[in-house]
């Protein structure tokens, strides 16, 4: 059965990728509809920022699911779509940052640096964003080959970055803790399923 599914995944790769693009653009479409129809009220700035952040986090969790699913059900063909989905994590993280800088701060860079000093969760988010930026740039096959083992080391930072994003999310909330705790439990579960990969990644820095 798994062999047949892998063959189907390979045969319809471009069709599946097209469908993934459409699905992964749905959160952005919903955001546009919510703003244009005033579903988030007359001042939706914070709702936009948090919604785009949650979209990035949710898609990030999907990428963490792919490897365990491919091993569990013997479907290596799933990994062919990991890069595409991972790039959408960066797209929504970029939109989240852009919404914060442009809509909330009005591109006031002095205010931005003040916010970084006064609110530690912002610079935590910036660290996570910069690592995502590096991962997105180096996802090109040519750079993968040039970087070699260093490419694997860089992309292994997805594990600590996910935890960093959760801390950023938790600290940004003015009230409530249930949602970040549920996310944390899910992330810990997903990382535990990749225990061997995490150990290999950590061991690669001692070689």
**pLDDT, tens digit, 9 for 90 and up, residues 20-61:** 999 999 999 999 999 999 999 888 999 999 999 999 999 999
Supply the pLDDT for residue 196.
82
Supply the pLDDT for residue 73.
86
Tokens 């989905």 map to which residue? 85
Sequential DSSP letters for 137-151: HTTSHHHHHHHTHHH
Supply the pLDDT for residue 126.
92
The mean pLDDT of 165-177, rounded to a whole number, is 84
| Domain boundaries, position 65 | 2-204
pLDDT at residue 106 is higher than 70: yes
How many domains is the chain partitioned into structurally? 1
Query: Please, is 95 exposed, middle or buried when counting C-beta atoms within 10 Å of its C-beta (0-12, 13-18, 19+)?
Result: buried
Q: Which residue has the higher pLDDT, 3 or 189?
A: 189
Q: CA 190, CA 207: separation in Å to the nearest integer?
A: 26
Q: Which residue has the higher pLDDT, 141 or 111?
A: 111
Supply the pLDDT for residue 203.
81
Q: Which residue has the higher pLDDT, 175 or 92?
A: 92
* Percent of the chain as helix, strand, coil, to the nearest 5: 85, 0, 15
């Amino acid at each position: 059965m798994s062999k047949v599914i892998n063959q189907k995944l390979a045969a319809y790769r471009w069709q599946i990728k097209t469908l993934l693009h459409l699905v992964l653009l749905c959160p952005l479409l919903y955001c546009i509809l919510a703003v244009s129809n005033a579903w988030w009220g007359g001042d939706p700035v914070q709702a936009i920022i948090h919604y785009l952040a949650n979209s990035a986090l949710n898609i990030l969790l999907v990428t963490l699911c792919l490897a365990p699913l491919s091993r569990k059900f013997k479907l290596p063909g799933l990994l062919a779509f990991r890069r595409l989905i991972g790039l959408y994590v960066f797209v929504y993280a970029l939109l989240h940052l852009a919404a914060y800088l442009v809509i909330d701060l009005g591109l006031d860079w002095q205010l931005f640096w003040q916010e970084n000093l006064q609110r530690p969760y912002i610079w935590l988010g910036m660290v996570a964003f910069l690592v995502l930026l590096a991962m997105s740039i180096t996802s090109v096959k040519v750079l993968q080959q040039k970087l070699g083992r260093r490419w694997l080391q860089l992309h292994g930072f997805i594990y600590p970055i996910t935890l960093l994003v959760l801390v950023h999310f938790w600290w940004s909330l003015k009230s409530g803790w249930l949602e970040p705790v549920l996310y944390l439990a899910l992330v810990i579960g997903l990382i535990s399923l990749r225990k061997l990969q995490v150990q290999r990644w950590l061991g690669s820095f001692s070689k």
